[in-house]
Chain A
Amino acid sequence: MSHPMKHALAAALAVMTVTLAGTLRSDAAPNVSHFTLANGLEVVVIPDHRTPVVTHMLWYRVGAADETPGKTGLAHFLEHLMFKGTEKNPQGLFSQTVSNIGGQENAFTSSDYTGYFQRTSREHLKMLMEFEADRMTGLVLTDDVVKPELQVVLEEQNMRVANNPGARLAEQMEAALFLNHPYQRPIIGWRQEIEKLTRDDALAFYKRFYTPNNAILIVAGDVTAEEVKTLAEATYGKVARITEVAPRHRPQEPLQVASRTVTLADARVTQPSVQRYYLVPSYTTAKPGESEALEVLAHILGRGSSSRMYDTLVVEKGVAVNAGAGYSGSALDDTRLFVSGTPKPGTTLAQLEDAIDGVIAELVQNGVTADELSRAKIRLIADAVYANDSQATLARWYGATLTTGGNIEQVQSWTDRLKAVTADQVRDAAKRWLDKRRSVTGYLVKDSQTVEKRP
């Protein structure tokens, strides 16, 4: 069936994916290789010989959270501009070539990383590497191409955020959750700052972060480590280090002491909802075992129809149409765990919020059952097995882990670490981290006059 929550989970796949490649040591596991070229470029090879296809991804350890204040949206804008050509390969040649051979390509930006990828049949790998290595340092930008692209990004902001009340609320909630950390900024940028981004801004950012020693090459598919190494040395290996990149020490969160609320009113809201973000440790910042416990906690609390929130709020009490939770564990710095609910007609947001708090309080007080713990582990570990069915998914997991402070070993030991989570750890994680003082609660409503005043 199709609970909206399940769709949310599909959308959130990348959140979990990072953590799920743990079965790589199982029977079906590809034999992952990892090495570093002389110029500092890290390389990961994930063999998958089922189809003669290769997924070629280049990840940079730079994202929206690495931008200079006042220049929000720059990491993402540069990502768009990376398709504008180099001295050697004029605009469009790379994309046209990929298209002509029946390949697919795309690029993506997050708070912590930026990536570029192509998928083609295996024999084109060297050519992909030549193109991608060339634009690592050879980008040429003129205002003729930069200016229309800025308009494209502004339309993207319209589409993703301005036209969408739920996305506008999420943007405001993140800004409120992070008091000091740059995760408070939208990846796409604040509109008035995007509007002012220039060619020079983009080139300065490019020169600061795009260098082989700040990148990770991931090749998944019908390849061997040996051939990838040979090809990578012949292409990427020739790119000189441009610069040394400073350690990513971003401003961290102070002790959070006050719960916050945010209300977004929009005349187009026909279905109100409530959500809460908690500030929690990521896989990189957590103490041993803590992230794994948060992963299990979020699952038991709110993933799917057997979760506490769905079962209690939707099925049993009938106060919600939908309810769920999720943990965004893959991040360089402290991250968030969210809970959300859509009220049934006749239930106010305040009543639903109280009911959500009731579910959390119950879990904090009495912990989780052995059956819940077991089901959650089975389901989470199965995700890792299913991941082995998709070379692109595996490539993304490794890329996201390595660009957020993790390493190969952490990916591969994930299943074992997850298996070790105890019921006490889950309850402790709930008790410690589901603390309202470290949270922001957001209300999506039609009219701010109708927001119920809390007693």
Chain B
Amino acid sequence: MTSLIMRSLSTVTWPRGRASLCGLLALVVVAFAPQLASATKIESIKSPAGIEFWLVRDPTVPLIAINFGFRGGSAQEPADKGGAMNMMGSLLDEGAGEVDAKAFQERLERGAIELSFTAGRDTFRGSLRTLKENQDEAFELLRLAINEPRFAPDAVERIRAQIVSRLQRQSTSPNEIATNAWWGTAFPGHPYGRPSNGTVESVAKVTADDMRALLKRVLTRDTLKIGVVGDIDPATAGRLIDRAFATLPAKGNLTPIPDVAMQGIGKRTVIDLDVPQTVVQFGGPGVKRSDPDFMAAYLMDHVLGGGAFSSRLYREVREKRGLAYGVSDNLLWLYHAAIHVGGTATRNDATKDTIQVIENEVAQMAKDGPTADELEKAKTYLKGSFALGLDTSTKISNQLVSMQLDNLGIDYIDKRSALIDAVTLDDTKRMAKRLLEGGMLITVVGRPKGVVSN
């Protein structure tokens, strides 16, 4: 249904901005935790059954948004069962307990309850949104979904067919091809090198028992993080949290994933595809979220390729030369690896120039780092944008869980500005050198003129 995005007469197109490049990234960057408004208070609360959750009370709108995450994502899948986590997430609301798939979906609709699950490489996350008046029904459906999913054969085959159909469609998409090739080259032999949602072949092999096993190993209380936002008091929230989560197994059984350094720096791979516009994905090493230099790297990368219309790459590739509609670079931190990764798309005969411009900017940044003025502006941007990412209940609940999964601490919001201010120009120069000096891994998909694999 891609046609809807821009075709619909009443649907706006968003012609500027970088959202359009999301497809290039294999997984969405965990949102940089912006600060909550000072008026917003996060409470850490223990439910009667001892489950911790973070709560932001907001009685303005009669709704409740909760987000939750477990450690363990697609990297936990058996090597030949790629996509099992994603498939499991797609089946949790397809019948559970005594409730069959049709009845489950109808109950969600009747309560206007929104329930969804997302498998990342390292985490499995869920989100629930409900009107306050339907909160009991919402948490009951959540309980059923995560504790007693049926994985009934007809539902499994129906969902499998949908996933395979999507994978087949993506198999000729330049963005998907570039992304999969980039990750495969960067992390050969490591779970991160596999497509996060699997392949047509691997999804075909996933069984209900595989999904049950993953459920039991990953959806457990020991790694559970929860964020609750909305028109709800701590006691009610605690009762509902217990209802949904207290019966999950206490301990999980995660396969240890080795730490890994990305490979393929300096390598350029061109994959032929008959399209008018070539897609380019590029990237190199990054920094872990726990690295003391994380913020310095983040600021440096923001100057290089972050923000909307302000980065060096944006200025040089789009604004000055008109080579592409979008170009950006982002830090991406996984539990066992860290990278920076970016992308662009340009006409086949301009691909060589575009890559050259990007490589020049990266080399320039590696050599001299940002200027004092650029760093100052990046700092004011990051400090000033704190509240924008947190103006809806869903965004806040999502952020509460990301902060917990990243071990940032409940006081992170208070500390954040000071962490940003503490970064010096030398810190960013050092990080520019460390991340960018070695060059990049580049994958190119299309019919680019004059660009070849090395």
Contacts and interface: CB of A to CB of B under 8 A. Distances in A.
Interface string A240-268: 00000000000000000000000000011
A337 to B, nearest CB: 11
A51 B9 contact: no
Interface in A116-170: 119-121, 147-156, 158-164, 166-167, 169-170
Contact of A152 (B169, B276, B322): B322
B308 A106 contact: yes
A298 B15 CA distance: 28
Given A5-B1, A268-B172, A53 B391 contact: yes
A51 B390 contact: yes
Nearest to A102: B384
A14 B106 CA distance: 24
Interface in A308-337: 311, 314-315, 318, 321-322, 324, 326, 328-331, 335-336
Interface string A71-108: 00000100110010000000010011001111111111
A152 B90 contact: no
B325 to A, nearest CB: 4
Interface string A320-364: 011010101111000110101010110000000000000000000
B453 interface: no
Given A14-B12, A155-B346, A167-B3, A28 B386 contact: no
A415 interface: no
B310 interface: yes
B161 A120 contact: no
Interface stretch (A194-202, A374-382, A418-426): A374-382
B451 interface: no
Given A53-B388, A152-B318, A382-B131, A271 B165 contact: yes
Interface residues of A, number: 120
A386 interface: yes
Contacts of A162: 275-277
A4 to B, nearest CB: 6
A410 interface: no
Interface stretch (B41-49, B68-76, B110-118, B212-220): B110-118
Given A28-B61, A50-B391, A160 B161 contact: no
B276 to A, nearest CB: 5
Given A149-B322, A159-B325, A2 B169 contact: no
A158 B175 CA distance: 13
A234 interface: no
Given A110-B9, A389-B392, A83 B91 contact: no
Contacts of A366: none
Nearest to A82: B16
A170 B6 CA distance: 9
A166 B159 CA distance: 22
Interface in A356-409: 374-375, 378-379, 381-383, 385-386, 388-392, 396, 400, 404
A1 interface: yes
Given A1-B117, A80-B15, A107-B15, A188 B62 contact: no
A303 to B, nearest CB: 9
A106 B14 contact: yes
A314 to B, nearest CB: 6
Contact of B388 (A104, A270, A375): A104
A6 B118 CA distance: 14
A331 B391 contact: no
A286 interface: no
A338 B3 CA distance: 11
B309 A187 contact: no
Contacts of B60: 28, 48, 50, 388
Contacts of B381: 99-102
Contact of B324 (A52, A155, A389, A400): A155
Nearest to A269: B172
Given A1-B94, A102-B385, A106-B14, A158 B7 contact: no
Interface in A3-20: 3-8, 11-15, 18
Given A2-B89, A99-B307, A322-B165, A51 B109 contact: no
A342 B109 contact: no
A331 B13 contact: no
Contact of B12 (A48, A96, A155, A396): A396
B371 interface: no
Central interface residue in B4, B5, B385, by most chain A CB within 10 Å? B4
Contacts of A322: 162, 165
A170 B23 CA distance: 20
A11 B4 contact: yes
B243 interface: no
Contacts of B62: 27-28, 385
A14 B173 CA distance: 26
B28 to A, nearest CB: 14
Given A162-B277, A390-B391, A390-B392, A104 B308 contact: yes
Contacts of A379: 109, 112
A377 to B, nearest CB: 10
Given A121-B387, A174-B7, A108 B276 contact: no
Interface string B246-289: 00000000000000000000000000011111000000000000
A111 interface: yes
Contacts of B40: 51
Given A4-B166, A268-B274, A105 B89 contact: no
Contacts of A80: 15-16
Contacts of A396: 12
B424 interface: no
Nearest to B130: A382
Nearest to B162: A321
Interface string B1-37: 1111111111111111100100000000000000001
A318 B161 CA distance: 10
A111 B390 contact: no
A281 interface: no
Contacts of B241: none
A52 to B, nearest CB: 6
Interface string B108-128: 111110001110000000000
Central interface residue in B2, B118, B274, by most chain A CB within 10 Å? B2
B325 A155 contact: yes
Contacts of A282: 9-10
B415 interface: no
Contacts of B384: 100-103, 120-121
A163 B15 contact: no
B411 to A, nearest CB: 19
B393 interface: yes
Contact of A155 (B310, B345, B390): B345
Contact of A267 (B90, B109, B174, B274): B274
Nearest to A311: B102
Nearest to B168: A270
Given A96-B310, A163-B174, 10 more contacts: A15-B4, A28-B62, A113-B12, A155-B346, A158-B325, A271-B165, A304-B109, A314-B158, A381-B112, A386-B129
Minimum-distance CB pairs A-B, first 4 = A102-B384, A151-B322, A382-B112, A170-B3
25 contacts: A1-B91, A2-B89, A2-B117, A4-B1, A5-B1, A12-B8, A13-B11, A15-B10, A15-B11, A102-B386, A103-B385, A110-B13, A170-B3, A170-B6, A171-B7, A188-B6, A268-B274, A304-B105, A305-B101, A306-B105, A342-B165, A383-B112, A389-B392, A390-B391, A392-B391
